[in-house]
Structure 1
Amino acid sequence: MAIICLSHTEETTFRDVAGEEEKHALIQYKWWNYHYSNIDSHHNDSVVPCEWEEIVCNELGSITQIWRPSIPPQQPRLVDLNFTAFPNLERLGLYGMGLVGSIPTQIETLRNLTHLYFFDNNLTGTIPTQIGSLGSLIHLNLSYNKLTGESQAFLPHLLINFSPLELMDLSGNKDLVKPFFQLWVL
């Protein structure tokens, strides 16, 4: 067992680096900076994503919740969002935005994710088995997209990881081979 102690200065530095990485990822994605159309993430220290209405942060200033922007971009793609920049993300709600493309496999880096809402979009492809590695997942809603393939592929991974899954909705994906249930409540 290793014990790591951080001094106040080291904790602040760690928090600042993590916060900068999260801020840079959001600014690069260009979904939430509609109020800051001319910002340059490397030269504007006054931009604080934790103050944006669709972003929620913890007491250390790390992003824990990301909700759909009030002004969704045209043809947004999940693959453009750097999921690895959000180590403390617990809730991700990008629904009804017209998201296109597939669900990236790097979604597995969101180890603290409890709620994932990608419903009512235009997502295509298969549900990556990496979703099954999200051991904290409680709600999963991928309904009303254009997902295909076998949804059973990621289910064993959720069960192996003892996910506390309470709700799963895959309905409205006409080319998705669904499990024997549409909405699963334990």
Structure 2
Amino acid sequence: MAGNPERRAALVDAGVEVLAREGARGLTFRAVDTEAGVPVGTSSNYFTSRDDLLSQIDARLHVRLAPDPDVVADLLTRPKDRSLVKALMHDLTARATHDRTGYLGLLEMRLEATRRPELRASYTQSVRADLEEGMRFHHEAGLPGGDETVMVLYLAMLGLLLEHLTLPGVLEGALPGTGVPEALVERIVETIVPATEPRGTGPH
């Protein structure tokens, strides 16, 4: 297989564009070549199969949508309370909104996984690893709440981003005074994440 890493990355990003725009059924090597502006047959020199391309798209999207380590490090200098969880969720929302194509690509991967057992197994493992990493981060950062808090927060944010990036009109104006998505992030965190008890006010 061809070994030019820059060309491979460009082809994978082109695959993300095709996946988000046309769905998994439209993700062909020819479509990727056209999107990337390269000669027909180029993609087949870089990926052993369509499954290989989907696997590399999954890995690439984890990089594209990952938090900036410097941003996270700065946020973690704040008190480890509910307001910090809000800031982290706002950062998540901003990243998904900024790379809407990437997030839609993730959603298309989920849909394709429902149709193909082999992809479902690998993609379930990938998403489960993300959830477990979120639990680990939450615990090690000393944020309020436990694993159940993280799981419910994950599900709520997944639903918010799904609506916001696909059918934003569903949420717009549904609750008076609730903006989309910023104010809803605030509501979600306040509802799910327990408030940190001020020092000195606990049981004696």
TM interval, short-chain normalised:
under 0.3
Task: Name the larger-Rg structure.
Answer: 2
TM-score, normalised to structure 1's length?
A: 0.27
TM-score by length of 2: 0.26
- The structure richer in strand per residue is 1
Higher helix share: 2
Structure showing greater relative contact order (alpha-carbon pairs closer than 8 Å, 6 or more residues apart): 2
